[in-house]
């Protein structure tokens, strides 16, 4: 304190005050989720790899000079600059076939995830909101679906559908939505007693509005996490069906079908078997890591972060 300040204080004047102003920046829930997800290194690396695979599978065929249906004179060639993934005994370029197979498998897996998530989320939200008889009936139907042998039913229906990827995705989605419904129901059961739901009721909001505008948006975390898990599950189910000969059929192809067709050539032309198998593993692993990152990002125990 300076002499002038002491003098002013002695004279009965007020000492000058210094106020250190600081601001606390409050983030929205979306910003919190993105911040936590970006900090998850494995999830971010997996997201980059998965996006690159998707771009390669859907854009690559338009840029590559061979078609997955086009014969070449190079039969049973190992990987080279001309054919990065080699060729099979018929002269098909494996690089073009793996791109097409990845594209088909991704379409099936994403359709399974979207269809199962939409049906399961609405089913579980309605059951959890109304409880009582409605909950009992809906959940018993859900339990019935869970007891059905997924692979066996998918094999039978896929065989009758002629190997169309669309029907395969539709059948598997119709048998996997029950997993999502149970998760969403348990979340909605805890949310329906919250103050914001009571406030919406007091303001005259209809049941439909409460479910779709309040309960489902607040259940988004578990829904998104389960959707990512279903993508990985869809890839593996499609692989199993195609490997058993009941999935995608020629002239179209998928990763599972490529592995199935190359199982007799593991010793002589291993690139035909291991390369599509590596893509199946890569997609399943990246999706699982992304799901782990989303699970951590939507952690309800971390509601507020201050900067």
At 177 the pLDDT is 92
pLDDT at 303: 42
Interhelix angle 94-130/220-243, rounded to 10 degrees, is 140
Two tokens at 224? 């998104």
Q: What is the mean pLDDT of the chain?
A: 83
* pLDDT tier for residue 306 given thresholds of 50, 70 and 90: very low
pLDDT confidence band for 246 (50 / 70 / 90):
confident
Min mean pLDDT across 149-163, 262-276, 277-291 is at: 149-163
Half-sphere exposure (CA, 13 Å, Cβ side) for 43? 18
Most confident of 23-37, 106-120, 149-163: 106-120
Task: Cis check for the bond before 251: say yes or no (omega within 30 of 0).
Answer: yes
Q: Is the pLDDT of residue 157 over 90?
A: no
Q: pLDDT for 89-131, tens place per residue?
A: 888 899 999 999 999 999 999 999 999 999 999 999 999 999 8
When pLDDT is averaged across residues 195-214 and rounded to a whole number, the result is 87
Tell which wins on pLDDT, 131 or 29: 131
Residue 19, pLDDT above cutoff 80: no
Stretch 128-150: mean pLDDT: 90
Q: What is the share, in percent, of the chain residues with pLDDT greater than 90?
A: 33
What is the model's pLDDT at position 110? 92
Q: What is the pLDDT of residue 141?
A: 93
The DSSP line for the chain is: --HHHHHHHHTTPPPP---------BPPHHHHHHHHHHT-HHHHHHHHHHHHHHHHHHHHHHHSSS-TT---S-TTPPS-SSSTT-B-TT--BHHHHHHHHHHHHHHHHHHHHHHHHHHHHHHHHHHHHH-HHHHHHHHHHHHHHHHS-HHHHHHHHHHHHTS-HHHHHHHHHHHHHHHHHHHHHHHHHHHTTSHHHHHHHHTT--HHHHIIIIIHHHTHHHHHHHHHHHHHHHHHHHHHHHHTT-SS-TTS--HHHHHHHTGGGTTT-HHHHHHHHHHHHHHHHHHHHHHHHHHHHT-TT----B-
Region 196-209 average pLDDT: 86
What residues does 87 pair with on adjacent strands?
A: 93
Across residues 34-44, what is the average pLDDT? 87
Maximum pairwise Cα distance, the chain:
104
pLDDT band at 75 (very low <50, low <70, confident <90, very high): confident
More confident residue, 233 or 156: 233
In the chain, the percentage of residues whose pLDDT exceeds 70 is: 87
pLDDT band, residue 304 (cuts 50/70/90): very low
């Amino acid at each position: 304190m300076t002499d002038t300040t002491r003098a002013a204080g002695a004279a009965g004047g007020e000492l000058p005050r210094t106020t250190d102003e600081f601001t606390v920046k409050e983030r929205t829930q979306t910003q919190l989720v993105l911040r936590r997800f970006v900090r998850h290194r494995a999830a971010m690396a997996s997201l980059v790899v998965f996006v690159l695979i998707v771009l390669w599978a859907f854009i690559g065929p338009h840029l590559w000079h061979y078609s997955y249906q086009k014969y070449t004179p190079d039969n049973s060639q190992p990987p080279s600059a001309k054919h990065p993934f080699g060729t099979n005994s018929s002269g098909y370029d494996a690089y073009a076939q793996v791109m097409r197979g990845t594209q088909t498998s991704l379409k099936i897996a994403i359709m399974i995830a979207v269809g199962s998530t939409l049906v399961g989320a609405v089913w579980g939200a309605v059951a959890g909101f109304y409880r009582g008889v409605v909950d009992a009936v809906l959940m018993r139907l859900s339990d019935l679906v869970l007891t059905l042998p997924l692979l066996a039913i998918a094999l039978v229906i896929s065989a009758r559908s002629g190997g169309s990827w669309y029907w395969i995705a539709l059948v598997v989605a119709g048998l996997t939505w029950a997993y999502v419904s149970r998760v969403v129901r348990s979340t909605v059961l805890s949310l329906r007693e919250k103050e914001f739901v009571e406030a919406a009721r007091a303001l005259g909001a209809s049941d439909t509005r409460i479910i779709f505008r309040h309960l489902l948006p607040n259940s988004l975390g578990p829904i998104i996490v389960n959707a990512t898990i279903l993508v990985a599950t869809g890839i593996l189910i499609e692989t199993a069906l195609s490997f058993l000969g009941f999935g995608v059929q020629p002239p179209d192809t998928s990763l599972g079908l490529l592995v199935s067709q190359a199982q007799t050539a593991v010793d002589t032309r291993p690139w035909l078997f291991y390369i599509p198998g590596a893509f199946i593993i890569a997609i399943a692993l990246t999706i699982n890591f992304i799901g782990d990152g989303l699970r951590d990002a939507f952690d309800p125990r971390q509601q507020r972060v201050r900067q």
